[in-house]
Amino acid sequence: MKALPKNVFKYFLQLFICCLALLHVSVHATEKINNLRVWLAPENTRLVFDLSGEVKHKIFTLNNPDRVVLDIEGVTLNVDLNKVDLGDSPVKKLRAGRGLPLRIVLDVSEPLKPVSFSLAPSGNYGHRLVVDLGRTGEKKAEKTKPLAVKKDLPAPAVPVVPSANVTAVKSLPGKKLRDIVIALDAGHGGEDPGAIGASGLREKVVVLAIAKELEKLIDAEPGFISRMIRRNDYYVSLRGRTAIARKKNADLFISIHADAFKNKKARGASVWVLSNRGASSEVGRWLAQKENSSDLIGGVGNLSLGGKDKVLKGVLLDMSMTASRKDSREVAKKIHKNIDKFAKMHKPSVERAGFLVLKSPDIPSILIETGFISNPQEERALKTTAYRQKMARAIFKGIKEHFINKPPAFTEIYRQKHGDGLTKRVQYQVVSGDSLSRIAHRYGVKLASLKALNKMKNDRIRIGQKLQIPTS
């Protein structure tokens, strides 16, 4: 038999390999990528792939030029990557290969630190693959107000009986004092739309609008400054929200929501504080369970809600918790009273539930339900700018009233109320058995504030060392 010419043999060999590849795809590509969403946050960009089922994947980076490479096993791509809106993200272009595993290449404008994880079906979402691209460059500077001083000055302290190794030191007259910091947490965001009304109104949009109205009021008031937990449409984990508030040395944490209930007749605004023993009503139990599971919708990977976070671990043992919860109740009552003047309230008093975002041991924290989107009448109100502004004014009035009456030490509002002469510091001399965290707990101050005041880079202390501790 005559041998085939080389070029003919080569053609049939290539055809055979292509057939094998197609057979391989048909046998092993059992799942599909049906959609891709991109969310841009200040410190990272999130890509969310909607999948038809569970898949395995690998992710790595390449440089010169900078790229992020994602290999996904057993999937075909049903998305036109050229039509994905990348906005102002550091991702310049998306490319996909033709073989298996499916390779998606992200051409990026800067070095990024990728983190990826899979999410099981939750709520209205099916299987998802999440890729978080963390920025590695310097963070943007925070906004400031005229005459404001560093935000790491100490928060108000729990009254302490001085011991033998404590000396009181008066503050310097005329010292510039800090603003009172209010952390504003607009619930949900990004992957997590929150509750959705009959007309399609999404909770995440409503509460961000109210938070921005409140931000304007706070920043316009001398002696106060706001810190937004999220400024745009992206998700922040529940523990991440309280961590941001702590990092910004907040004096008060306000979480704003507009939830829904299984009964569409449920209506009314409400103000909530933390309850460790259980919710004060059926609605409270239902809402807390729903809000506490939002990490599964928003997407935080394999994070367990069971208490791995150091900040929340042993929260009931933290010595500052009692004072924090007392302040939470006080400001909550004032806000509840103000909202009651123009809106129907769900209950005649402040309610209690086990919301995870309220479990910060050292920051007074409240949660405000501005109304029920599931109620047609309240959904219409929540759509209007007028109602959102009324809600913001009512919340701000309660905040201002509380802090004018009970200002934190070393703030301008405190000086206006008490004068410079009443502001003082305590000087503490370290003894055997002390640790920096124990000293902070003993005096009811933040560990970060204690370190900042004493210009400490770590937690090491020595016997006989003198520490400046704020008190009032």
- Does 20 score more than 80 pLDDT? no
What's the domain count of the chain?
3
Domain CATH number, residue 42:
2.60.40.3500
Same domain? 104 vs 150: no
- Comparison of pLDDT for 29 and 304, the residue scoring more: 29
Axis crossing angle, helix 385-405 with helix 203-220, rounded to the nearest 10: 50
Q: Which of 405, 425, 450 is the last residue of a domain?
A: 405
Indicate the average pLDDT of the chain. 80
Same domain? 346 vs 437: no
Please give the pLDDT value at position 150.
35
Please give the pLDDT value at position 457.
85
Same domain? 399 vs 428: no
Same domain? 88 vs 171: no
**Does 49 map to a domain?**
yes
Q: Which of 357, 389, 405 is the last residue of a domain?
A: 405
**Does 4 map to a domain?**
no
Distance from C-alpha of 315 to C-alpha of 320, rounded to nearest angstrom: 9
Kindly indicate the confidence band of residue 391, based on its pLDDT and cuts at 50, 70 and 90: very high
Sheet strand arrangement including 424-429:
166-170, 424-429, 466-471
Domain CATH number, residue 426:
3.10.350.10
Distance from C-alpha of 332 to C-alpha of 117, rounded to nearest angstrom: 38
Task: Please give the model's pTM, rounded to 2 decimal places.
Answer: 0.68
**Does 3 map to a domain?**
no
**Does 13 map to a domain?**
no
- Does 23 score more than 50 pLDDT? no
Distance from C-alpha of 245 to C-alpha of 239, rounded to nearest angstrom: 10
- Identify any residues that bridge with 270 across adjacent strands, giving them in sequence order: 369
Nearest to 295 by CA among 119, 49, 90, 55: 119
Q: Which of 388, 405, 422 is the last residue of a domain?
A: 405
Please give the pLDDT value at position 343.
94
**Does 150 map to a domain?**
yes
- Does 384 score more than 80 pLDDT? yes
Same domain? 238 vs 274: yes
Same domain? 285 vs 341: yes
Same domain? 23 vs 56: yes
Residue 119, φ and ψ in degrees, nearest 5: -125, 135
Helix (DSSP H) and strand (DSSP E) numbers for the chain: 11, 18
Please give the pLDDT value at position 164.
39
Please give the pLDDT value at position 10.
62
Same domain? 415 vs 397: no
Same domain? 228 vs 354: yes
Same domain? 390 vs 446: no
**Does 10 map to a domain?**
no
Same domain? 190 vs 230: yes
Per residue in 137-152, pLDDT tens? Answer: 644 444 444 433 333 3
* pLDDT-wise least confident of 43-57, 220-234, 292-306: 292-306
Per residue in 187-236, pLDDT tens? Answer: 999 988 999 998 999 999 999 999 999 999 999 999 999 999 999 999 99
Same domain? 97 vs 193: no
For the chain, the farthest-separated pair of C-alpha atoms sits apart, in whole angstroms, at 111
Distance from C-alpha of 461 to C-alpha of 441, rounded to nearest angstrom: 15
- Does 392 score more than 90 pLDDT? yes
- Comparison of pLDDT for 118 and 214, the residue scoring more: 214
Token duo for residue 412: 């301008």
Domain CATH number, residue 372:
3.40.630.40
- Give the contacts of 207 (CB within 8 A, at least 6 positions apart): 186, 187, 188, 194, 256, 257, 258, 370
Q: Could you give the residue ranges of the DSSP H alpha helices within 170-293?
A: 203-220, 238-247, 282-292
Token duo for residue 240: 């991440």
**Does 79 map to a domain?**
yes
Domain range spanning residue 64?
18-135
**Does 1 map to a domain?**
no
* pLDDT-wise least confident of 41-55, 127-141, 161-175, 356-370: 161-175
